[in-house]
Structure 1
Amino acid sequence: MTSVSSSILTALGAGSGIDTSSLVTSLVSAAKEPKQTAITTRQTLNTARISALASASSSLDTFADALNSLLAGTGYSGTPASNDTSIVAVSALPGGTPTGLPAQIEVQQLASARTLASTPVSGATSSTAVGEGQLTLTVGGNSATITIDSTNNSYSGLATAINNAGLGVTASVITDTQGTRLVLKGPTGEANDFSLTSVSGTDLAQFAWSGTDSSTMASMSDPKDAIIKLDGVEQHYASNTIDSAISYLRIDLNKASPGTTVTLATSEPTTSMRDLMVEFVDAYNTLMKALNTATATGTDSSNAGVLNGESSIRDMKRQLSQMVSTALTTTGTYKTLNDIGVSTNRDGTLSLDTTALDKAIAADPTAITQMLNPAVKTSTNIGLAGLMDSVRDNIKKDGGPLATSQSKYKALASDLTDQLDKLDTQMSDYQAQLTKVYSAMETRLSAMKATQSYLEQQVALWTKSSN
Structure 2
Amino acid sequence: MAIESITKTLGSGSGIDISALVTSLVEAQTATKAAQLTAKSDTLTAQISAASSLKSAINSFDTALKSLIRGGSVSTQPTSSNTSLLKVSVLSGASAAGLSAQVEVRQLASGQVANTATVADKSAAIGQGTLTLTFGQTSVVDGEMTAFAAGPGTPVNITIDSSNSSLQGVADAINAKKAGVTASILTDSTGSRLVLKSATGASQGFTLTAAETPGQEGLSALAVGVGATGTTIGSAAQDSIVAIDGVPVRRAVNSIPDIIPGIRLDLVAASVGTKINIGNEAPTAALQTAVGDVVDTYNELYAQLKTATDPITGPLRQDSAAKAMLRSLADLSTRTLVSGGVAGSPKSLSEIGVSTNRDGTLTLNTGRLTNAMLSYPDSIEAMFKMGAGLSAQLSSIAVSASSTIYGLGASESRYTKAKTAITEQQTKATEAAEVLRTRMTRQFASMDSAVAAYKSTQTFIENQVKAWNSDS
Name the TM-score class by shorter chain.
0.7 to 0.9
Aligned mate of 1:349, from 351, 354, 361: 361
Structure 2 Cα separation of the partners of residues 49 and 235 of structure 1: 64
Which of 423, 428, 446 is the equivalent residue of 1:422?
Answer: 428
Q: Partners in 1 of 2:422 and 2:121 — Cα distance?
A: 75
- CA deviation profile, 1:249-300 (whole Å, cap 9, x unmatched): 54322356789875543323251644443333233223222323333456xx
**What does residue range 160-199 of structure 1 map to in structure 2 within 5 Å?**
168-173=181-186, 181-189=193-201, 192=204, 196=208, 197=210
Structure 2 counterparts to residues 52-63 of structure 1, below 5 A: 52-63=50-61
Instruction: State the SS of the aligned residue for 2:285.
Output: coil
Amino acid at match of 2:308: A
1:39 maps onto 2:34 in alignment: no
Give 1:405's aligned residue.
411
Q: Distance in 2 between matches of 1:456 and 1:147?
A: 119
More RCO (CA 8 Å, sep 6+): 2
Distance 2:443 2:251 in 1: 93
The answer for the alignment partner of 1:66 in structure 2 is 64
Change (3 A) 1:446 1:146: farther
In the superposition, the TM-score normalised over structure 1's length comes to 0.75
Q: Is the 8 A contact 1:103 1:264 kept in 2?
A: yes
Correspondence 1:372 to 2:383: yes
Confirm whether residue 115 of structure 1 aligns to residue 113 of structure 2: yes
Q: Shift in Å at residue 223 of structure 1?
A: 3.5
Residue of structure 2 in register with 1:3 after alignment: none
- Which residue of 2 is the match for residue 324 of structure 1? 333
Local SS of the residue matching 1:76: coil
**CA RMSD after TM alignment:** 4.3
Structure 2 counterparts to residues 64-463 of structure 1, below 5 A: 64-85=62-83, 87-91=85-89, 96=93, 98=95, 102=99, 104=101, 110-118=108-116, 120=117, 125=120, 129-131=124-126, 133=128, 136=131, 155=167, 159=171, 168-173=181-186, 181-189=193-201, 192=204, 196=208, 197=210, 200=213, 202-209=216-223, 211-217=225-231, 219=233, 221-226=235-240, 237-243=251-257, 250-255=264-269, 263-271=277-285, 273-297=287-311, 304-331=313-340, 332-333=343-344, 334-362=346-374, 364-373=375-384, 382-449=388-455, 451-452=457-458, 463=468
Q: Per the alignment, do residues 135 and 35 of structure 1 end up closer, same or farther by CA in structure 2, a change over 3 Å counting?
A: farther
Partner of 1:24: 22
Contact map agreement 1:226 1:240 (CA 8 A) in 2: yes
Q: Is the 8 A contact 2:287 2:381 kept in 1?
A: no
Q: Over residues 399-437 of structure 1, what are the superposed CA-to-partner deviations in whole Å (9 max), with x where a residue is unaligned?
A: 234233222221222122112111111112212222332
Distance 1:204 1:145, change over 3 A: same
Report if the CA contact (8 A) 1:130-1:203 is conserved: no
Residues 246 and 41 of structure 1, relative CA distance in 2, 3 Å threshold: farther
Question: What is the letter of the counterpart of residue 418 of structure 1?
Answer: E
Q: Residue 75 of structure 1 contacts residue 271 of structure 1 at CA under 8 Å; is this kept in 2?
A: no
CA drift at 1:89: 2.1
Distance 1:404 1:128 in 2: 65
What's the offset of the Cα at 1:341?
3.4
Number of the residue aligned with 1:6? none
**Deviates most, 141-150 or 238-247:** 141-150
CA contact (8 A) 2:127 2:166 kept: no
Cα offsets for 1:69-112 (capped at 9, x unmatched): 3344454324332334455322456x655557626556575433
Indicate if the aligned counterparts of 1:111 and 1:237 stay in contact, CA closer than 8 A.
yes
- Conservation of the 8 A alpha-carbon contact between 2:13 and 2:448: no
- Give the Cα–Cα distance (whole angstroms) in 2 for the partners of residues 170 and 265 of structure 1: 41
Alpha-carbon distance change, 199 to 446 in structure 1, aligned in 2, over 3 angstroms:
farther
Alpha-carbon distance between aligned partners in 2 of 1:248 and 1:425, rounded to the nearest angstrom? 70
Q: 1:328 to 1:147 in 2, by over 3 A?
A: same
Task: Please state how far the C-alpha of 1:60 moved relative to its aligned partner.
Answer: 1.7
Q: Which amino acid aligns with 1:315?
A: A
Change (3 A) 1:361 1:271: closer
Q: Indicate conservation of the 8 Å contact 1:148/1:157, yes or no.
A: no
In terms of mean alpha carbon deviation, does 57-66 or 97-106 score higher? 97-106
Letter in 2 for 1:46: L
- Distance in 1 separating the partners of 2:29 and 2:250: 85
Displacement of 1:348 in angstroms is 0.4
Contact 2:352 2:372 in 1 (8 A): yes
Q: Secondary structure at the match of 2:405?
A: coil
- Residue type at the aligned position of 2:444: Y
Inter-CA distance 193–441: structure 2 relative to 1 (3 Å threshold): farther
Structure 1 residues 89, 339: CA separation in 2 closer, same or farther (over 3 Å shift)? closer
Q: Could you say what secondary structure the match of 2:74 adopts?
A: helix
Q: Which moved more, 1:42-51 or 1:214-223?
A: 214-223
In structure 2, give the amino acid aligned to 1:365: Y
Aligned residues: 438
Unaligned runs of 5+ in 1: 1-11, 299-303
